[in-house]
Structure 1
Amino acid sequence: MKRTDLAKSDAKKLMNQMGAKDAAFGAAARPPVTDRREQRDRERALGLVPFAVKLNADLVKQLQALSKERGVEMNQLVAELLQKSLAA
């Protein structure tokens, strides 16, 4: 093996070790992943139902801005706006 090949090999080993450490650190910092089925069951118990719609991109941007402005989640904002609209 040439000297340069040996240096490349050592560098690859070092990079792999650094990547493994970062991955382990990142995994420890992330919150635990909940099971999707458990999440659906919890939401169902709260009376929440998934409701998918397709909206214009401009409208979505307005909703996102309003959500940030009010400091509420998108689901809560859309539910509030729908309730107000249906009540009128």
Structure 2
Amino acid sequence: MNKFQLEQNKAFKLANDLKQGGRARAGAADEQKIDRREQRKLDQAKGLVPFACKLDEKLVKQLKDRADAHEGGMTEALAELLVKAGLER
């Protein structure tokens, strides 16, 4: 690999980091975060399935406010609301 290819590789890595929101490569903050694949595996082990839907803007704001106050986050807050609405786990 020549010098041009090495520099090109660095540029690709930098561009990818910028696309990912400017996260530092191999920084201390990255060590504490779980990457997406690991998170997907953990969610699958818990039996969680991604579910997307379109909701009214006002309803989403209310859900976000409730999720911020809930210790389990959005997922647990929504699950709790659905169970209260009569759905079973």
Name the CA shift for 1:47/1:62 in 2 (closer, same or farther; >3 Å). same
More contact order relative to length (CA 8 Å, sep ≥ 6):
1
Cα distance in 1 for residues equivalent to 2:48 and 2:68 = 22
Q: Which runs of 5+ in 2 are unaligned?
A: 1-22
Please report the RMSD computed on the Cα atoms of aligned residues, expressed in angstroms: 2.2
* Cα distance in 2, alignment partners of residues 35 and 65 from structure 1: 26
Q: CA deviation at 1:71?
A: 4.1
Alignment gaps of 5+ in structure 1 = 1-25
**For the residues of structure 2 that align with 1:71 and 1:42, how far apart are their CA atoms?**
18
Matched, 1:39 2:39: yes
Alignment of 1:47-66 (within 5 A): 47-66=47-66
Which residue matches 1:30?
Answer: 29
Runs of 4+ with >4 A deviation: none
TM-score (norm 1): 0.56
2:73 corresponding residue in structure 1: 73
| Partner SS for 1:86 | coil
Letter in 2 for 1:30: A
Provide the TM-score with structure 2 as the length reference: 0.56
The aligned length equals 62
Give the stretch that moved more between structures: 64-73 or 47-56: 64-73
